[in-house]
Amino acid sequence: MKTVNLPYQAWEHQKNLFKALEIDGYKRIIAVYHRRAGKDVAAFNLMIRAALKEVGSYAYMLPTFSQGRRVIWQAILNDSTRMLDFIPPELIARKSEQDMRIELVNGSQIFIAGSDSYDRLVGINIKGLVLSEAALADPAAWKYFSPILNANGGWCVMISTPRGHNEFYSMFEIARQNPKIWFTEVKTIKDTGLISEKLIEAEIERGEISREHAEQEYFCSFSSGVESTYYGKYVDNMRLEGRIGMYPYDNSHPVHTFWDWGHRDQTCCIFAQIIQNTVRVIDCYIHTGEGLEHYAKMLQSKRYIYGEHIGPHDMRVHELTTNQTRWAKMNQLGFMFKICPNIPVIDGIEAVRTILPRMYINESEGQCLEFIKALENYRSERVQVNGAALSKPLHDRHSDVADALRMGAVMIPHIRTDSISPEKLNAMRMTAKYGSPSLSPFFR
């Protein structure tokens, strides 16, 4: 085989991956490396070696299928070497361009894949898995392949730079606490010397990159989050100030719900109480692939004393299949919604920023942990519009949750927060317990 095409110093550091898998016998490996540390070159060579030593199916997975094609299948390195050239031609039996599959002469198969379409590999008994840029991968991919690897004694290597306190961070913390099972390693530019610290400092001083970006990309800081996150710093402050913890439902105040309705995406419902001048998120529900009756039943099952239900402007759009709006359907089911005005997204983001300093989150209820992760990871992306580079919110699983909070933040100034009379409060409790006469017979 060809020598891994890395500078000598980088190769010395990447050798730890090979030693952990091939000598020390680790089946689970997490490596957090700085940007441009050569982690994909090392991990791909690691997979080639494993496929030649033991016949089986191996998957090299990037966050998306298109990234897999670009980073591995079509990639050309600085010296004009192709990533696929690391496999000697005489060891390749055949290649499939469409599936990005390589069959070796010994019968092993290497698949280049994306976590966004891991179902392409359903039914394949994966023996080895590399999750590259694991911090951006769909967590469902690991949940699917983990039991397969456990059953056949297979291995997994996760490599990435940090992206805040997301699922990869949680996995890394679990791995560090179980050193007999997981090999973990963190390499910054201070460890490798591949990139000059003075060079990075100079770029920061010139304003070419932010210090947050440098801390994340070159010094492997999880706490810096993503440079372009909208709410990351606010969540950090919430943790420092103890505003994330046990803040359960207070039945002396109504619960307001904030919604983002998904078509193919997730539907998210945030349950919040406005108590004095604070906004308390007490519960969160995230789901997909269900009709409106499912969400109406979910609301009824909570038995909260409800105040306002806030939905996005597209609740008034007629569905093609029923010619009925979601607003009208939920009204029939007994839940009257107020509609958030269709204002620019950036104005809605600013509305969220105004309430975050007085927000408390009950992390122990429902999917509030997913809500917190969404706030930490909701970020912008750069796009080209008429030749100009502009920033806009990135649409992913985090944005669905962030959009629901945005609906609520815009409407909070219009929600009544005055005290409720004992008589009205008792009537609301009876409604929560027994149902309202206006509720659809669907619930009776």
Q: What per-residue string of b and e applies to 400-424 under the rule 16 or more CB within 10 Å gives b?
A: bbbbbbbbbbbbbeeeebeebeeee
Q: What is the pLDDT of residue 444?
A: 41
Give the residue carrying structure tokens 């890394």. 172
The C-alpha atoms of residue 110 and residue 124 are separated, in whole angstroms, by 11
- For residue 279, CA distances in Å to 199, 275, 299, 306 come to 44, 7, 20, 15
Q: Where are the domains of the chain?
A: 8-197, 239-443
Do 182 and 28 touch, CB atoms closer than 8 A? yes
Name beta bridge partners: 58. 110, 128
- State the Cα torsion 61-62-63-68 to the nearest 10°: -110
DSSP-derived secondary structure letter, 247 = -
Helix H or strand E segment including 298: helix 292-302
Backbone angles phi, psi at 285, to 5 degrees: -130, 125
Q: What is the pLDDT of residue 215?
A: 87
Task: Give the strand pairing for 109-114 and 101-104.
Answer: antiparallel
Q: Within 10 A of 49 (CB to CB), how many other CB atoms are there?
A: 16
Q: Within 10 A of 95 (CB to CB), how many other CB atoms are there?
A: 14
Q: What is the pLDDT of residue 10?
A: 44
User: And the tokens for 116?
Assistant: 């966004």
Do 412 and 279 touch, CB atoms closer than 8 A? yes
Q: What is the chain's pLDDT, residue by residue, as a tens digit (444 residues)?
A: 444 444 334 456 678 899 999 999 999 999 999 998 889 999 999 999 999 999 999 999 998 898 999 999 999 887 788 999 999 999 999 999 999 999 999 999 999 999 989 999 999 999 999 999 998 888 899 999 999 999 999 999 999 999 877 889 999 999 999 999 999 999 999 998 889 999 999 988 876 776 777 888 899 988 765 556 889 888 888 887 889 999 999 999 999 999 998 766 789 999 999 998 899 999 999 998 888 899 999 999 998 999 999 999 988 886 656 678 989 999 999 999 999 999 989 889 989 998 999 999 999 888 999 999 899 889 887 676 655 556 788 888 889 999 999 999 999 998 875 445 556 666 655 665 555 545 554 444
Give the residue carrying structure tokens 């990309």. 217
Helix, strand, coil percentages for the chain (3-state, nearest 5): 45, 25, 35
The C-alpha atoms of residue 440 and residue 444 are separated, in whole angstroms, by 8
Do 164 and 170 touch, CB atoms closer than 8 A? no
The C-alpha atoms of residue 52 and residue 107 are separated, in whole angstroms, by 9
- For residue 72, CA distances in Å to 76, 94, 394 come to 9, 17, 24
- For residue 330, CA distances in Å to 77, 243, 288 come to 55, 33, 17
Q: What per-residue string of b and e applies to 287-325 under the rule 16 or more CB within 10 Å gives b?
A: eeeeebeebbeebbebebbbbbbbbbeebeeeeeeeeee
Domains 8-197 and 239-443 share a fold: no
Instruction: Give the predicted TM-score (pTM) of the model.
Output: 0.56
The C-alpha atoms of residue 115 and residue 81 are separated, in whole angstroms, by 26
CATH topology of domain 8-197: Rossmann fold (3.40.50)
User: And the tokens for 126?
Assistant: 């994966």
The C-alpha atoms of residue 403 and residue 411 are separated, in whole angstroms, by 13
Closest C-alpha to 357, from 279, 415, 417: 279
CATH of 239-443, one of 3.30.420.280, 3.40.50.2300, 3.40.50.720, 1.10.472.10: 3.30.420.280
